[in-house]
Chains A and B, each alone.
Chain A
Amino acid sequence: MPEPRLQRSLTHSFRLPRDRYRRVAAWLDNTTGGSGLIRQELRHIFPDDWSFFFGEIALYCFIILVITGVYMCLFFKASAAPTVYLGSYQPLHGVSVSEAYNSVLRLSFDTRAGLVIRQVHHWAALVFAAALIFHLFRMYFTGAYRRPRRLNWLLGLSMLMLVVINGVFGYSLPDDLLSGTGLRIAFSITQSVPLIGPNLASLLFGGDFPSNSLIARIYPVHILLVPGAIAGLLGAHLGLLWIQRHTQYRGRRRTDLTVVGTPLVPAYALRTTGFLLLLTGLLTILGGFFQINPVWLYGPYHPWDSTSFAQPDWYTGWLEGAVRMMPAWDIHIGGLLIPGLFWPAAVLPGIVAGFLFSWPWLDALFTRDDALHNVLETPRDRPGRTAVGAGVLTFLFMLLVAGGDDVFAAVFHWNLPTLLSVMEGLTLGLPFVVGLLVYAIFRRRHVTAPEEVTP
């Protein structure tokens, strides 16, 4: 056996130092030749601010989702085939359910720690989307989307869309009453698209609703395609972040040319790893003590069953609200129909996405500022932008509230149709009021930004 001898002689000839760090570094150099690069990158500078953690929350939620998701994959059965539930949850004992629903019940009741992992997964998804929204609007209100970070803005937005879509798929997989209701609505929305709708719905959903192939079809998309795409985009997003360095707020010695911050190792790495674990702990508390999506109470889905309090998870709640409030605008064009559902469910998200995707260019157009920026602005620096953002946020928030109108009506004993009318008025009016108010306040308090201190 010549190889081990050769190895030993090589190792011996290099006379590796006894110190273990040096030994690791030497091994790295011997295998990759990269220790110089690593040494440099270990001192990578991260500007510090609490608001820069939103992206990290999202990143860590993604990691937790992948880990808990892989665990659940081992137990979930993506099939609509009928079976009889014979697990330990008595009220459904002997009920004919789908294999998918059966496997979720078995995961929840008859797999050790299955329920806590499932609940952590669901909570992580909700916090993930919330963190992304905070991240997005932190970028917006501080002007972080400006050159040279326009591409990264697009990458981030694409991931947000994928996260929302994958959330809907995950909500659909257990095949409980709420899942099926959501899929039925998704089918109707697809069907509402002019010209291609009926065929597109049939193509995507596997024929008429509900088709037997639907769950089996969503599953690989939920666990492989979309997470894979997110992982790819995430790599590009973080790669760009790394190359370009993070933005920074104004401060001593901070300019568009010089970055001031904490080096990755040791302080920043310790803090952020600790934060990852703290986040995991918090999500585990949620998963352990706060019940989420009790599918055994909702029951299996049948197209003839439905339930009050039927809501999507919060990140699609704004679309739900739009669908609820939109009047019946069925448009007839010479014997053809554009169903009213098409406007709030397909056109509105298109407009919102279009606005967000094009914002960096719109902003450059309005401000005639096409230069590179590494120092962030504060919301106060740009009252106009802040007002627009506040208005858009108010609009989306009112839609989100309207998505739960029946819950609020039932809990607070309000008249549902009246509440709906009030919400319609507020959704159309309040964004302008809030926008103008924000503009007026920030305009008055606006102080010209002090010139950045050059090194």
Chain B
Amino acid sequence: MRGPRHLRPRTAVALAVVAAAAIVLPAAVKAASASPPAAPVAVPAILTATTATPAATSATPAATPTPPPGSGAALFAANCSGCHGDHGQGLIGPSQQADAFPSLVAGMVRRGGISMPAFPQLSTAQVDAVATYVATQIADPAARLGTVAEGGAEFRLYCSGCHSSVGSGGALTQGRNAPDLRAFPAAEALAAMIYGRGNMPVFAGTTFGVRQQASVALYVEVLQAPPSPGGWGLGYIGPVPEGLAAFLALCLLLLVTVWLAWGKGQVKPEAERGLQRPAPGWPAGIALLAAIAGAAGFVAFFVVGNNTQKLGGTMALAFLGLGFALAYWGRDLTPDDVEVGSYPLPPRYAASGGSAADPPAALGDELAGSAAVLTRRRFLTTILIAAAAVVGLSQLALAASLGPKSRGLFSTAWRPGVRLVTADGAPITRDALQGGGIIVAFPEGHLEAADSQVALLHLTGVTPQPGRESWSPEGFFAYSRVCTHAGCAVAQYEDEAQRLLCPCHQSSFDLLDGARPVGGPAGRPLPQLPLAIDASGYLVAQRDFTGPIGPGFWNLYA
């Protein structure tokens, strides 16, 4: 007879079936009538609309509640024009030419920015009215063409080097940080792009227009609440917290192993044997029920949608339930049978109990016998080994097909007279960068040429290196953007310190001294591209770099 505390197996199965049915049936019914699962990624509605149809947005601005006492224009005149100018052209505050998206403006008005106060006295309707007014009447129509996708590309080219691709910031030199963008209203990013701030250069002018600015602001808005369908984002600071979490998980597993191995496999003294009270069976039963419920829930959630937390949670419940039941069964419901066996030691070793120098005889004799047969045909054996080696080595020739020969580490796509263009392919004139800033430039017609990318800067009052006096016409300097240490894009530009930094291993290059390495593991300066200005005012290359760009290799100086 089983003890009363034990769950009868048939009862357990019956309960499980009922539970499973209770979970699966409604889900199946729901699934049969369900619409296709919703898009899993929550994105602010305004952004979805603007990304899908930018033209439509510009034609029909977001629904405007009828402005009660004052219209958007009146509210603007009363609250905004004092700083931003009568036409939003910029006065004390920045120009509003790129403020093409009402949600961004509204967020700024409600929360305020670093230098702009919040406007709590305005009602929601009033904020919406003034935001719509700014977006539709003041912003440059070109800015409305901006999209999240375009903003993402610009962000990864110009911003993520310091602020990280997730917008969570980053470390710079001298104890300064690039701030976490998720702590600011997205429109604040516009002011920072227009004015620059501290170490941050200006992102404005002929090559970084209102459309780019508006796009980046839109993308920053997305990053304010980063889409995280996978669960908790662990701070959005890259793989470091992930590694930490993996070790914490392992420590949790170690607790499980301690539980599993507690007091097991020991030969106990006579007095301690047979004293254990029998463990109850119900924990295993409950765990199995939970496992069945988990599995049923997983199937149900799988049918109705694609929610990672629900799927993961139910799947985990299924495995944990089953796992606990089995482990508990083996640990607590199975008698501790301990056995004593013997290690497979060489017989003579075991007998003498000591010296390892005694090899077992039998196998050795056998091998010696076979070897004697072989060595009788010594000549043939030698040939056999040689032939096998030659056949094997000859197959290594296949490896040569692996790599097309390198185009050469010694040259890039720059040729005399080739124009410098932006990542969008727009040629760069001598009007660019007059307010400071930086452009990532490529040779015209070679936008995919990774080794040819240069950082173009307009540095006034910097003396060129000896021998390079003619390389920087009108103060335009172009340096290879491929780090001479390990090849990452040297994407951080500290405006105050006039340094380029590599976000991968923190090499820093002094722009006031020919991009000489002044910190970090890089050993060679960034190569400088000799520039000229052609008759039409476009920036062009005088010729290719004078030496290899990027990381070092043994015959670099050849």
Contact = CB atoms under 8 A, between A and B. Distances in A.
Interface string A343-377: 00000000000000000000000000011101000
B239 interface: yes
A287 interface: yes
Most buried by A among B233, B239, B405: B239
Contact of B340 (A46, A52, A253, A311): A253
A283 B268 CA distance: 36
A88 B37 CA distance: 11
B504 A185 contact: yes
Contact of B334 (A266, A284, A455): A266
Interface stretch (A2-10, A231-239, A332-340, A387-395): A332-340
A126 interface: yes
Contacts of B247: 130, 314
Contact of A89 (B41, B325, B517): B41
A448 interface: no
A55 to B, nearest CB: 11
A113 B257 CA distance: 29
Contacts of B353: 257
A252 B169 contact: no
Contacts of A287: 308, 312
B101 to A, nearest CB: 14
Contact of B322 (A205, A277, A415): A277
A288 B521 contact: no
B553 A270 contact: no
Contact of B249 (A43, A127, A192): A127
Interface in A13-43: 43
A360 to B, nearest CB: 13
Interface footprint category on B: 35 or more
B10 interface: no
A317 B409 contact: no
A306 B551 contact: no
A397 B265 CA distance: 34
Contacts of B231: 119, 288-291
B229 A108 contact: yes
B442 to A, nearest CB: 8
Interface in A178-217: 178, 181, 184-185, 187-189, 191-195, 197-199, 201-211, 217
Contacts of A330: 523-524, 552
Interface string B174-214: 11011000000000000000000000000000000000000
Contacts of B170: 308-309, 406, 410
Given A50-B257, A297-B227, A406-B506, A371 B312 contact: no
Interface string A122-136: 010011011100100
Interface stretch (A157-165, A222-230, A321-329, A433-441): A321-329
Contact of A177 (B156, B171, B309): B156
Contacts of B341: 45, 245, 258-261
Contacts of A197: 553-554
A174 to B, nearest CB: 13
A325 to B, nearest CB: 8
Interface stretch (B43-51, B133-141, B380-388, B458-466): B43-51
Nearest to B268: A252
B271 interface: no
B148 to A, nearest CB: 5
Given A111-B306, A267-B336, 8 more contacts: A204-B402, A257-B343, A258-B341, A292-B242, A304-B453, A337-B555, A341-B521, A407-B171
B261 A50 contact: yes
Interface string B432-456: 0000000010000000001101000
B425 to A, nearest CB: 14
B551 A270 contact: no
B523 A328 contact: yes
B316 A288 contact: yes
10 contacts: A108-B230, A202-B403, A257-B343, A263-B339, A271-B326, A273-B326, A274-B322, A313-B239, A328-B520, A410-B170
B144 interface: no
Nearest to A326: B521
